[in-house]
Structure 1
Amino acid sequence: MKTEDHRDPAPPPPGGILWSIAGDIRVFLTLPAALTMQVAHPAVGAGVDEHSVFRTDPWGRGERSVRSVLLWVYGGQEAAAEGRRLRALHKTIQGTDAHGRRYHALQPANYAWVHATGFPVYQHAQKYLGRRPFTEAQERQLYAEWLQVGRILGIHDRDMPQSIEEFWPYYRKMLADELEETEVVRDLVATDRPVPPPDRGPFLLRLLLRTLWPALLPPLARFRRFVTIGLMPPDAREAIGLPWTRDQERRLRRFCLVVRTVVPLLPERLRYLPMAREARRRR
Structure 2
Amino acid sequence: MSNENSSNEVVDSKMLDALDKPQQIHQVVQEAILLAGGAAAILLQVAEPGVAQGVDEHSNFAYRPLDRLRTTMTYVYCMVFGTREEKEVVIEMVHRAHATVNGPGYSANDPRLQLWVAATLYAVGMDLYQQMFGKFDNTTSEAIYREYSVLALSLRVPPGMWPVDRKAFWEYWNYQVATMEITDHAKHVAKDLLHNKRAPIQIRMVLPLVRLTTTYILPERIREAYGLRSTKLRRGAYRVTMGLTKATYPSLPRAIRTYPMKYYLKDMRQRLKGKT
d(CA) in 1 for partners of 2:112, 2:71: 24
1:129-144 map, 5 Å: 130-144=132-146
- Stretch moving more, 103-112 or 150-159: 150-159
Deviation sequence 1:215-250 (CA, Å, 0-9, x none): x66652211111222223445435655432344333
1:225 partner letter: R
Matched, 1:258 2:262: no
| Larger relative helix fraction | 2
Kept in 2: contact 1:33–1:228 (CA 8 A): yes
Partner of 2:187: 183
Q: Distance in 1 between matches of 2:243 and 2:251?
A: 13
Instruction: Determine the C-alpha separation between the residues in 2 that align with 1:37 and 1:188.
Output: 15
2:56 maps to: 49
Matched, 1:89 2:100: no
Q: Structure 2: how far apart are the matches of 1:11 and 1:82?
A: 13
**Alignment partners' CA distance in 2, 1:15 and 1:219:** 37
User: Out of 149, 160, 163, which is 1:161 matched to?
Assistant: 163
User: CA-to-partner distance for each residue in 1:78-133, whole Å, 9 max, x for gaps?
Assistant: 2243223212211121124xxxxx111111211211111112212322343x1213
Q: Which of 98, 103, 106 is the matching residue for 1:103?
A: 106
- Deviation of 1:45 after TM superposition, in Å, equals 0.7
Deviations 1:38-66 (A, max 9, x none): 01111101101111110111112212211
TM-score by length of 1: 0.77
Contact 2:111 2:156 in 1 (8 A): no
The equivalent of 1:208 in structure 2 is none
Query: Which position in structure 1 is the counterpart of 2:231?
Result: 245
Q: How many Å apart are 1:6 and its aligned residue? A: 3.4
Q: Report the Cα distance in structure 2 between the residues aligned to 1:105 and 1:223, rounded to whole angstroms.
A: 30
Q: Which residue of 1 aligns with 2:175?
A: 173
Q: In structure 2, do the counterparts of structure 1 residues 76 and 246 end up closer, same or farther at CA, with 3 Å as the change threshold?
A: farther
Q: Distance in 2 between matches of 1:240 and 1:10?
A: 37
CA contact (8 A) 2:153 2:159 kept: yes
> How far apart are residue 274 of structure 1 and its match?
5.4
* CA 51–45 in structure 1, closer or farther in 2 if over 3 Å, else same: same
TM-score (norm 2): 0.79
Q: Distance in 2 between matches of 1:12 and 1:266?
A: 30
SS of residue in 1 equivalent to 2:106: strand
Task: List structure 1 segments (4+ residues) > 6 angstroms apart after TM superposition.
Answer: none
Residue in 1 that maps onto 2:5: none
Pair 161,15 (structure 1): closer, same or farther in 2 beyond 3 Å: closer
Report percent identity of matched pairs.
24
Instruction: Give yes or no for the alignment of 1:27 onto 2:30.
Output: no
Which segment drifts farther, 58-67 or 230-239?
Answer: 230-239
What's the counterpart of residue 119 of structure 2? Answer: 116
Match of 2:257 in 1: 271
For residue 67 of structure 1, what is the amino acid of its counterpart? T
d(CA) in 2 for partners of 1:26 and 1:69?
14
2:159 partner amino acid: D
Query: Any stretches of 5+ residues in structure 1 without a counterpart?
Result: 97-101, 198-212
Residue type of the alignment partner of 1:260: K
**Partner of 2:129 in structure 1?**
126
> RMSD of the alignment, in Å?
2.7
Question: CA separation in 1, counterparts of 2:264 and 2:48?
Answer: 35
Alpha-carbon separation, structure 2, partners of 1:183 and 1:92 = 23
Q: Could you tell me which amino acid in structure 2 is paired with residue 152 of structure 1?
A: S
